[in-house]
Structure 1
């Protein structure tokens, strides 16, 4: 990239470079402080505890539908896939409706990762969300383990890859069903849409139920790393467990990227990019050049920081509970 560098002595250039490095260092420190700014508030911990409680209730009730109470019979009937699918779908719909205004109702690390990649949630806050979700899932699975007779526990709803398919195929199944779920979340919670009607939480619950109706025979239909982690931790059964983290997270990231940047891009992002990039005569975009590198770094940093400071992290739409900083 061509820059206009004034004729200066070596000492002046060294001083200028030192000032630039010092400015960028303090800018980075300031960004980190802003990222952790909202953590030490009652609202944030209320949201984190909401994620824990919502995941706890969801896992407890949903896994309970997988317990086969006729397992002691000589010929126990097979698991009722419709019952399990409806229980998972209706449970998640209820929890999203109850906790959506408190924490955003993620209840799923894949959803939290999707919010991070679309800058609706900071990475620092997402780490607390994921930890709360995993702890909630362990608690829910642990309570179910304690209240269920030992002879009826079975696998306690641990998600397992069907022996008739490969691990790679299981990974694709988890990716696709989570893609369907996260795309539904972004589409039904999009504040830019004016045609929405009905219940967003119910639509999300239907998406979960549909994924289970399709994928239970293949992988047990996780769609949620925390949901798989809870019973796996309680029973210490981690066979092919990585599939239930990698598949859903990849599916969630792809769905979020496709919706936010391909199908329904945010015009506000384009406006901000135009402040940093401009189109040359050949039609290509190039970074705006400043004669003073310090002024350039200051301008770019000021755009992001100013927006982060003015935005209340907890005054968001249902799909954007926490702002990115």
Structure 2
């Protein structure tokens, strides 16, 4: 059971140079991801006179987020594991692959990175609005929660299969590609309903800058539940107990 491996971490871990570097890597990866993803939506709105909700706008959002995430995961992989998502970090914690203290450092870096990216976009575009995520007409909060659970489950399950599982072998080299593809595909599915977040930080940045918090909790609860389910299922059913990489708690 992954629950048996959940660890808080040692007191010195939060200030360990490697952990702080990992948090900083998550910060910069999130800036790269949100600046490109959110920025593409703003650019599309500008050149189409606010046609970002059109089919072509949805395709553009899927491609920009997918490509940007491939890069953001790749550049952070060797330092932090390239989570670029608080829900992915939570899934790694639930599966016993990261301590709580390290997860908190990651979350701080991820959330700050998203806010900074949105502030940079607002400044660079002369004050254009960084639109917060919102539910489409006719979509209830519980519809959106289900969408976020299922989509984030697919994302975190992909992360476990291609990046976390020690048996991944050569498939680990395409992990960023697979992760980017599943996010792009999910945006094509859920983008027209609730924006297809799968990532609380991606919602947090625009919400802070625009100070719009309508149904914001949906984009935390759904992804965290989906991530936990994926971690528990993959770790319990498909991960070899003997092959599980132990947490490096003794390093701190």
TM-score tier after normalising by the smaller chain length = 0.7 to 0.9
On the 8 A contact 2:166/2:243 being kept in 1, the answer is: no
Q: CA deviation at 1:146?
A: 1.3
Residues 1:184 and 2:158 aligned together: yes
**Structure 1 or 2: larger helix share?**
2
On the 8 A contact 1:259/1:265 being kept in 2, the answer is: no
Residue pairs, 1:212-251, within 5 angstroms? 212-251=187-226
Residues 1:133 and 2:110 aligned together: yes
On the 8 A contact 2:148/2:219 being kept in 1, the answer is: yes
On the 8 A contact 2:93/2:100 being kept in 1, the answer is: yes
Residues 1:165 and 2:134 aligned together: no
On the 8 A contact 1:157/1:231 being kept in 2, the answer is: yes
Which protein has the larger Cα radius of gyration, Structure 1 or Structure 2?
Answer: 1
Change (3 A) 1:46 1:76: closer
Structure 1, unpaired ranges of 5+: 1-30, 270-303, 314-325
Residues 1:93 and 2:73 aligned together: no
Paired with 1:101 and 1:92, the residues of 2 have a C-alpha distance of 15
Paired with 1:198 and 1:133, the residues of 2 have a C-alpha distance of 23
Q: CA deviation at 1:183?
A: 0.3
Paired with 2:173 and 2:79, the residues of 1 have a C-alpha distance of 20
User: How many residue pairs were aligned?
Assistant: 241
Cα deviation, 1:265-311, whole Å, max 9, x if unaligned, reads: 42367xxxxxxxxxxxxxxxxxxxxxxxxxxxxxxxxxx99x842xx
Paired with 1:177 and 1:70, the residues of 2 have a C-alpha distance of 29
Correspondence for 2:148 among 174, 197, 210: 174
Paired with 2:17 and 2:170, the residues of 1 have a C-alpha distance of 35
Change (3 A) 1:76 1:37: closer
Residues 1:112 and 2:105 aligned together: no
Paired with 1:100 and 1:162, the residues of 2 have a C-alpha distance of 34
Q: CA deviation at 1:263?
A: 2.9
State the partner residue of 1:70.
47
Change (3 A) 1:142 1:195: closer
Q: CA deviation at 1:53?
A: 0.9
Paired with 1:97 and 1:230, the residues of 2 have a C-alpha distance of 22
Give the TM-score normalised by the residue count of structure 2: 0.87
Q: CA deviation at 1:212?
A: 0.8
